[in-house]
Amino acid sequence: MAIGPVAWAGTAVHAVAMNAANGRLDDAITDFSRRLVNVDGMVKTVYTAGFGPAVVLMPEMPGISPDVLRLARWVRDAGFTVYVPSLFGVDGAYPTIEGGQEVLRRACVSAEFRAFAGGGTSPATAWLRGLARQAHAECGGPGVGAIGLCFTGNFALTMALEPAVIAPVVNHPSLPLDDPAGLEISDEDAHAVRDRIRRDGLKVLAYRFDADRWCTGQRFAAYQALLGDAFDGRVLPGSAANTNPPPFFRDVVGSPHSVVTAHLVDEDGHPTLQARDEILTFLTDRLSTSGHSEDNRQDR
């Protein structure tokens, strides 16, 4: 579908469906194209929308929630083609306690993810790097942006092993769950990412709340130690977090966590909305090119 540019703060019109089980609105995702993407024989569902340089937006636990889709629409409306891969959970579902806990349990034992210390790099990132290559081939431009959230937060950094990825955004990375000072990446991949970032002069933008029990200051210190000045870690006060997030975030996450999704406050001048704008500016600065014109835009 062809979608024209609108202001970042504009509210997208999209279909919603009432879920009788939780009494809240799920997102029907009707304003995205649903595709099956094959990377090295592994097929996953990917939702795409917009036009312009590609940005891969990975879901946070427990899946592609209405808040993740809100962020995807903001990315789309800022002039990008957004790719949202389905990695876990029920696409478009409102995050409930029981449903979210079940998704988390399954992800923690899945062969695709390394949720605990000592596991190294999650194998799912290899598929995501392939997605980034395909997205770059489809959309053109200088490269691809990658936004990780929570469970997938560090995936954005590991995706920088793919040369097409030039704008990684690491939001409240929560893995490994049992080591607050650890990074979800093998030593070999960490060294390769560090060398690639130094060689190509990349920057890594990152966000967390100061009161986040899943993404601590120790973790940001570990990123700083690995990446040096290339790591731009920004910390918001926990008091700025939305106090009425979905039940999964209220009762399971149990602390300020999701800066630009579940704990975002959509009010002008609010720190979380400023963080969203900073991310969009970061992507624009690194992915836009004067050579990208209307003639290069492709319907998704």
State the pLDDT at residue 118: 85
Percent of the chain with pLDDT over 90: 86
Q: Calculate mean pLDDT across residues 250-255.
A: 97
262-265 contact pairs (CB < 8 A, 24+): 262/60, 262/65, 262/67, 262/95, 263/209, 264/67, 265/240, 265/241
For residue 277, the number of C-alpha atoms closer than 13 Å in the C-beta half-sphere is: 14
Q: What is the tens place of the pLDDT at every residue in 146-195? A: 999 999 999 999 999 999 999 999 999 999 999 999 999 999 999 999 99
State the pLDDT at residue 148: 98
Q: Calculate mean pLDDT across residues 50-54.
A: 97
Please check the confidence at residue 300 and state whether its pLDDT lies above 50: no
Q: Domain ranges in the chain?
A: 35-288
- Domain 35-288: give its CATH code: 3.40.50.1820
Confidence at 24, pLDDT banded by 50, 70, 90? low
* CA 107 – CA 198 distance, rounded (Å): 32
- Give the chain's mean pLDDT: 90
Please check the confidence at residue 1 and state whether its pLDDT lies above 50: no
Confidence at 57, pLDDT banded by 50, 70, 90? very high
Percent of the chain with pLDDT over 70: 88
Contact 272, 264 (CB under 8 A): yes
* CA 145 – CA 32 distance, rounded (Å): 18
User: In Å, what is the CA distance from 249 to each residue of 25, 92, 151, 267, 292?
Assistant: 16, 16, 13, 20, 39
Between 19 and 205, the higher pLDDT residue: 205
State the pLDDT at residue 23: 52
State the pLDDT at residue 68: 98
Please check the confidence at residue 56 and state whether its pLDDT lies above 60: yes
Please check the confidence at residue 202 and state whether its pLDDT lies above 70: yes
**Which of these, 95, 101, 35, 108, lies nearest to 65 by C-alpha position?**
95
Q: What is the tens place of the pLDDT at every residue in 86-144? A: 999 999 999 999 999 999 999 999 999 999 988 899 999 999 999 999 999 999 999 99
Q: Calculate mean pLDDT across residues 250-277.
A: 98
